[in-house]
């Protein structure tokens, strides 16, 4: 390691003060090429922000950014008033709930594979978990439409609804219409889809806990679980947090499965079983449908808002990974 | 080192073979059983998009027309919704749009300014929307009138045994079930026809909700697509929704009859829908005939229009004269011979007045100033007789 | 102070809980795959792979209908995306790892991560504005560009970490025998990191191949094969994820069955890519 560091230092010194040998035309060309390609990614990301802002500017001008974000009416017919609040609320509710549902099982899987399971089993579980991230979201969507939503409606929503109707009718407005497609269904599917992200980062964090730490703890007579609770989890909390934030980012941006399952209702209030909408789902549903320029512009403005939120979440995750110096954690 | 090269080569070869193979298949696949007559160069791809409701008819027409022309003309129609049809027509990404709402004056003016020609709205088929419901113990034939539907969709009438419903259905024993209102949650031409009917019969609805492909609903739950509405209605005792007539027929849903402007109770049927359009049509056919004045017309019906530029050359999506010519040929065929396909697919036929107006518009279609439509219509038997 | 027995019981209890959690997480995956196969296998016949979709009345009247145009379109669009994304992603990855002192690197890293974290639907909107509008038509090319936006940041990221894993002494050795830097990177560092590079590319490919959202406004969809193979690039093209979506929300049960079959094909396609990627991860040298 140390020699590696030294060479790196030397090379850096050399690069800062390149001798004639590094100014060969081939090298100049190569550097130019590589840097151009790198810059093109920067430009692409920036152009995304500019394009979304530019296309959405008409709506943002009309309502003001905060007026747009806080507006609760989405009326593309009569008043032509567009507010993103219902979608913002839908996105935040479904993603945060999905994170809360998934985080404990996700951490448990990471602990189990890293600390308990034999190597072969850990490998299999690892692959399967990664596979969850690989299943296309439309495939999960079609399964949700034809299997999960009807099943949830018949075995969970309807019985709960009937029970509430007979014993606690005041609950009914909160529960909403149990038609199968709705906030809860979307949240459950989201929770499943983001598990791999938390698991991967948590596991990397657990792996990076020094072996000595575990041994020391064991030597004090701790049980396996106590080792995990006292010597590993506190150490890995950075990774867990970063993984959770990254998962949150995934949940916020997840589009197709949610659009297929959330029921698509653009007006507040959203209810537990009832239909709702998220920012990506409203873009999918209405982007090809929008006739009025202001409607289209408002959808782009939702895209811009989504960009800002995703940017904040990702910067926060990047900050955490840097702070806790987490390496790896690549999820497909 | 060698494995490296082998892998690289293999990936490269795989890519090559796929792209080449695709090229071959692309040609071979689209040529099943085509004899002479249509070599690859002669073939034409047409692109249209828009309303979901007429999609089964238009795509079936596309299938038929492809066989008819020996694979020479392929029409790709994507159902992206009426709003999408108008939008993509304006963006000039499609050769024609399709919509259950006609172009607004503002859009017509913009197009006039940007292309120097008009945009034509040509009726292709008719859309009819029926109230569907789920009332335990009661089958088809509950009678509604416009004002009642407005009050239900405004949330004023909340029980099925409301006297306003009972007045129209004296013979039925309606239960005291609460009414669950179901509407489309996505943008839809079906919603446009439905809300335009409600707007026409009620000033209150017009000022408060209006009509469009998606509106700000006062009450109710949303279902995505015809299916979503159908699902919600069928799963919820006491629900009322609205579906296109074809869809209700195909899925054995209970649907109601509606009282029309002349006071007749009209049971939905293809004839009643065609009859609804049998009115005095304006030149540009831009008219809503929901709540039709036709005496025996079904009141919740409207045209599905094909949107097309008068100056075909002004549309970016049409790149040459041949494409324009084939597009017009298809258009002529679709409003004449192809109307034979309507009933078997669950659509009402275009009435004669609409056909007349269409011919008049086709005669004005131009390619770089040349009256392409008129020359193509010249020897059409039907056009001559009208 | 708890007794040893209590502590041991607690230990066993937690172990049981961990196992249970793992099963709860993995069960849905197995159920999903099983359902997809059960529902879709019946519609996976010869016609499915050889016929075009056409109108829904084809299915209703029992005439042959299939998704050959969709499968071919998917391959074209996906590989087009890969050809666009690979050079740029590799370049950016090389910049991050081989020019660690470049002033733009921190910016590039943040921007790349941001792009990676962006919802795929926004990438579709971007490609719509940048390609579809100027081109005047929906096209396979614009779909490829949209998907390349999905692949790019993943390839850049994985390239960086694959190249970083090669010890600096290897570069030093190359430079010492007088090779120019570009030769050192291209013929020493990259071959040494080849498995990492292939894995990263495949992962990016698998990820993009399952995306439907960016394709809705770009490659648009088509019920037939284009008349000329160039139509796959310059005209609207069908792709599996987007077709799967429109089949699933259609009102025809025949199309639902086809949707399930399309789900099998898509799942197998993505999983094969994924498995290959995993295979390459295992290879050390």
Query: Domain map of chain B by residue range?
Result: 2-126+302-385, 128-301
pLDDT surpasses 60 at A329: no
At C75, the pLDDT band (50, 70, 90 cuts) reads: very high
Q: What is the mean pLDDT of chain B?
A: 81
CA distance C20 to chain A (A): 9
Residues with Cβ within 8 Å of C94's Cβ and at least 6 positions away in sequence, in order, are A34, C159, C163, C185
* B16, pLDDT greater than 90: no
Looking at residue B383, what is its pLDDT? 62
pLDDT of residue A3: 61
Average pLDDT, chain A: 84
Higher pLDDT, B189 or C238: C238
Sign, Cα dihedral of C133, C134, C137, C140: negative
Residue B264 Cα to chain centre, angstroms? 26
Contact (Cβ atoms closer than 8 angstroms) between residue A182 and residue A276:
yes
- Let me know if C161 is exposed, middle or buried by CB neighbors in 10 A (0-12, 13-18, 19+): middle
pTM here? Answer: 0.84
Answer whether B2-126+302-385 and B128-301 agree in fold: yes
Element (H or E) spanning B5, and its range?
A: helix B2-29
Question: What pLDDT, on a 0 to 100 scale, did the predictor assign at position A16?
Answer: 59
DSSP string over C31-89: HHHHHHHHHHGGG-SHHHHHS----HHHHHTT-----HHHHHHHHHHHHHHHHHHHHHH
Which subunits sit against B, judged by 3+ Cβ pairs under 8 A?
A, C
- pLDDT higher than threshold 60 for residue B19: no
Whether chain C has a CB inside 8 Å of the CB on A19: the answer is no
C105: chain A residues, CB-CB within 8 Å: 38
- Is the predicted pLDDT of residue B315 greater than 90, yes or no? no
Confidence class for position A94, pLDDT limits 50, 70, 90: very high
Backbone angles phi, psi at A293, to 5 degrees: -60, -35
Show me where the domains of chain A are located.
Answer: 50-331
**B35 pLDDT tier (thresholds 50, 70, 90):** very low
Q: Which residues of C lie closer than 8 Å to B, measured between beta carbons?
A: 50, 52, 54-58, 68-69, 72, 75-76, 79, 82-83, 132-133, 136-138, 191, 194, 198, 220-229, 231-232, 235-236, 246, 249-251
Rounded to a whole number of angstroms, the CA Rg of chain C reads 24
Instruction: Quote the tokens at residue B353.
Output: 């007045």
Q: Which CATH class is domain B128-301?
A: alpha beta
Query: What per-residue string of b and e applies to A125-161 under the rule 16 or more CB within 10 Å gives b?
Result: bbebbbbbbbbbbbbbbbbbbbbbbbebbeebbbeeb
Shortest CA distance to C122 belongs to which of B83, A265, A47, A76?
A: A47
State the pLDDT at residue C147: 95
Question: What ipTM does this complex have?
Answer: 0.90
Mutate to test the interface with A, among B221, B225, B239 (most CBs of A within 10 A): B221
Q: What is the distance between the alpha carbons of residues B349 and B338, in angstroms, rounded to a whole number?
A: 10
Establish if B217 touches chain A: CB-CB under 8 angstroms: yes
pLDDT band at B7 (very low <50, low <70, confident <90, very high): very low
The first and second tokens of residue C166, run together, are 């090669």
- Which CA distances in Å does A324 have to A237, A311, A312? 9, 20, 18
- Read off the pLDDT band of B34 (50, 70, 90): very low
Q: Classify domain A50-331 at the CATH class level.
A: mainly alpha
CB contact under 8 A, C52 and B226: no
Contact yes or no for B187 and A275 at CB 8 A: no
pLDDT level of residue A81 (50, 70, 90 thresholds) = confident
pLDDT digits (tens, 9 = 90+) for C7-22: 888 888 988 999 999 9
CB contacts < 8 A (B, C): 118
Distance of residue A168 Cα from the nearest chain B Cα, in angstroms? 17
pLDDT at A321: 76
Looking from the CA of C246 toward its CB, the CA atoms found within 13 Å total 23
> Is residue A327 scored above 70 in pLDDT?
no
Residue A330 has pLDDT above 50, yes or no: no
Q: Do residues B346 and B249 touch, judged by C-beta distance below 8 A?
A: yes
For residue B6, what pLDDT is reported? Answer: 45
Across the range A44-66, mean pLDDT stands at: 90
How many secondary structure helices (H) and strands (E) does chain C include?
15, 0
Chains that touch C (3 or more CB pairs under 8 A): A, B
Model confidence pLDDT, tens digit, residues B248-303: 887 788 899 999 888 889 998 888 888 888 888 887 888 888 888 888 889 998 88
Q: What is the mean pLDDT of residues B59-75?
A: 88
Across the range A184-213, mean pLDDT stands at 88
Nearest residue of A to residue C145 by CA position?
A: A44
For the B2-126+302-385 domain, the top CATH level (class) is alpha beta
Using a CB–CB cutoff of 8 Å, tell me whether A284 touches chain C: yes
What torsion do the CA atoms of C149, C150, C151, C154 make, to the nearest 10 degrees? 110
CA angle at residue B48 from B42 to B51, to 5 degrees? 155
pLDDT digits (tens, 9 = 90+) for B92-141: 888 999 988 888 888 888 888 888 888 899 999 888 899 999 988 888 88
What average pLDDT does this structure show over C178-194? Answer: 86
Beta-carbon contacts of residue A5 (< 8 Å; ≥ 6 apart): none
Contact (Cβ atoms closer than 8 angstroms) between residue A38 and residue C91: yes
Shortest CB distance from C198 goes to which of B7, B71, B226? B7
Q: pLDDT grade, residue A1 (50/70/90)?
A: very low
Rounded CA-CA distance B87/B267 in Å is: 34
Non-local (6+) Cβ contacts of A34 within 8 A are C91, C92, C94, C95, C98, C99
Partner residue facing A131 (CB), from C153, C180, C274? C274
Q: Would you say residue C51 has pLDDT above 50?
A: yes
- Residues 6+ positions from C252 with CB-CB distance below 8 Å: C56, C59, C60
Closest CA to A100 of A251, A229, A271: A251
- Rounded Cα distance between A177 and A4, Å, is 63
For residue A20, pLDDT beyond 60: no
């Amino acid at each position: 390691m140390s020699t590696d560091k030294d060479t790196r230092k030397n090379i850096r010194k050399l690069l800062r003060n390149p001798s004639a040998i590094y100014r060969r035309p081939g090298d100049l060309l190569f550097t130019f090429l590589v840097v151009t390609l790198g810059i093109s990614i920067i430009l692409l990301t920036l152009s995304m922000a500019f394009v979304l802002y530019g296309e959405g500017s008409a709506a943002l001008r009309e309502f003001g950014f905060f007026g747009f974000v806080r507006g609760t009416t989405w009326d593309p017919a009569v008043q032509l008033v567009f507010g993103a609040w219902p979608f913002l609320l839908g996105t935040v509710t479904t993603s945060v709930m999905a994170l809360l549902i998934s985080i404990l099982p996700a951490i448990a899987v990471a602990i189990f594979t890293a600390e308990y399971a034999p190597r072969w089993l850990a490998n299999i579980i690892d692959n399967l978990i990664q596979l969850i991230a690989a299943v296309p979201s439309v495939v999960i969507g079609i399964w949700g439409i034809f299997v999960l939503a009807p099943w949830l409606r018949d075995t969970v929503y309807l019985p709960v609804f009937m029970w509430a109707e007979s014993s606690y009718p005041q609950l009914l407005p909160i529960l909403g219409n149990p038609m199968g497609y709705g906030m809860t269904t979307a949240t459950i599917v989201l929770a499943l889809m983001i598990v791999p992200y938390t698991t991967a980062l948590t596991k990397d964090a657990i792996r990076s806990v020094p072996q000595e730490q575990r041994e020391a703890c064991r030597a004090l007579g701790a049980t396996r679980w106590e080792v995990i609770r006292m010597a590993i989890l506190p150490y890995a909390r950075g990774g867990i947090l970063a993984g959770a934030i990254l998962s949150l980012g995934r949940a916020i941006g997840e589009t197709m499965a949610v659009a297929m399952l959330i029921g698509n209702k653009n007006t507040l209030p959203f209810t537990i079983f009832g239909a709702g909408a998220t920012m990506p789902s409203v873009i999918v549903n209405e982007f090809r449908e929008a006739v009025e320029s202001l409607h289209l512009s408002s959808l782009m403005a939702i895209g811009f808002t989504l960009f800002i939120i995703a940017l904040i979440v990702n910067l926060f995750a990047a900050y955490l990974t840097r702070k806790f110096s987490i390496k790896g954690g690549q999820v497909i | 080192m060698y494995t490296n090269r082998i892998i690289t080569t293999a990936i490269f070869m795989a890519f090559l073979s796929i792209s080449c193979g695709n090229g071959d298949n692309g040609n071979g696949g689209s040529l099943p059983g085509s004899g002479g007559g249509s070599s690859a160069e002669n073939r034409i791809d047409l692109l249209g998009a828009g309303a979901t409701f007429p999609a089964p008819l238009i795509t079936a027409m596309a299938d038929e027309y492809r066989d008819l022309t020996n694979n020479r003309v392929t029409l790709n129609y994507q159902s992206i919704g009426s709003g999408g049809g108008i939008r993509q027509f304006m963006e000039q990404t499609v050769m024609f749009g399709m919509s259950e709402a006609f172009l607004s004056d503002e859009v017509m003016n913009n197009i006039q300014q940007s292309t120097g020609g008009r945009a034509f709205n040509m009726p292709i088929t008719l859309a009819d929307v029926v109230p569907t419901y789920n009332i335990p113990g009661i089958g088809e034939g509950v009678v509604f009138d416009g004002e009642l539907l407005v009050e239900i969709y405004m949330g004023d009438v909340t029980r099925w045994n409301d006297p306003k419903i009972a007045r129209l259905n004296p013979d039925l024993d309606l239960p005291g079930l609460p009414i669950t209102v179901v509407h489309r949650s996505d943008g839809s031409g079906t919603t446009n026809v439905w809300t335009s009917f409600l707007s026409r019969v009620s000033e209150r609805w017009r000022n408060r909700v209006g009509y469009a492909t998606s509106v700000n609903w006062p009450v109710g739950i949303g279902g995505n697509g015809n299916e979503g509405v159908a699902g919600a209605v069928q799963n919820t005792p006491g629900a009322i929704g609205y579906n296109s007539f074809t869809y209700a027929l195909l899925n054995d849903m209970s649907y109601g009859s509606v009282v029309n402007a002349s006071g007749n109770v009209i049971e939905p049927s293809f004839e009643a829908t065609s009859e609804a359009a049998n009115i005095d049509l304006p030149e540009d056919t831009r008219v809503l005939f929901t709540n039709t004045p036709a005496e025996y017309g079904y009141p919740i019906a409207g045209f599905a229009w094909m949107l097309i530029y008068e100056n075909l050359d002004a549309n970016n999506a049409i790149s040459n004269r041949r494409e324009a010519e084939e597009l017009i040929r298809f258009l002529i065929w679709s409003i004449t011979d192809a109307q034979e396909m309507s009933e078997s697919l669950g659509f009402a036929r275009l009435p004669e007045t609409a056909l007349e107006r269409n011919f008049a518009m086709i005669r004005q279609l131009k390619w770089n100033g040349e009256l392409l439509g008129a020359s193509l219509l010249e020897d059409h038997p039907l056009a001559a007789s009208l | 102070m708890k007794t040893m027995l209590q502590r041991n019981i607690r230990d066993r209890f937690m172990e049981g809980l961990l196992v249970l959690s793992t099963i709860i997480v993995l069960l849905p995956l197995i159920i999903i795959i099983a359902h997809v196969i059960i529902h879709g296998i019946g519609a996976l016949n010869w016609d499915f792979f050889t016929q075009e979709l056409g109108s829904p009345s084809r299915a209703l009247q029992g005439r042959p209908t299939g998704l050959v145009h969709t499968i071919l379109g998917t391959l074209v669009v996906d590989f087009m995306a890969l050809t666009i994304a690979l050079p740029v992603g590799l370049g950016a990855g090389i910049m991050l790892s081989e020019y660690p002192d470049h002033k733009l690197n921190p910016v590039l890293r943040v921007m790349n991560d941001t792009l990676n974290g962006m919802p795929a639907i926004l990438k579709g909107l971007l490609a719509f504005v940048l390609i579809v509008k100027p081109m005047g038509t929906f096209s396979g090319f614009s779909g490829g560009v949209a998907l390349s936006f999905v692949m790019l940041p993943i390839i850049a990221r994985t390239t960086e970490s694959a190249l970083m894993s090669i010890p600096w002494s290897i570069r030093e050795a190359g430079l010492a025998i007088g090779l120019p830097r570009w030769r050192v990177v291209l013929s020493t560092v990259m071959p040494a990191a080849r498995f990492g590079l292939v894995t990263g590319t495949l992962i990016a490919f698998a990820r993009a191949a399952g995306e439907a959202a960016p394709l809705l406004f770009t490659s648009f969809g088509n019920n037939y094969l284009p008349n000329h193979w160039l139509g796959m690039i310059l005209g609207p093209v069908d792709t599996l994820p987007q077709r799967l979506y429109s089949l699933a929300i259609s009102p025809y049960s025949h199309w639902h069955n086809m949707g399930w079959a399309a789900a099998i094909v898509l799942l197998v396609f993505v999983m094969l890519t994924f498995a290959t990627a995993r295979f390459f991860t295992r290879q050390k040298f």
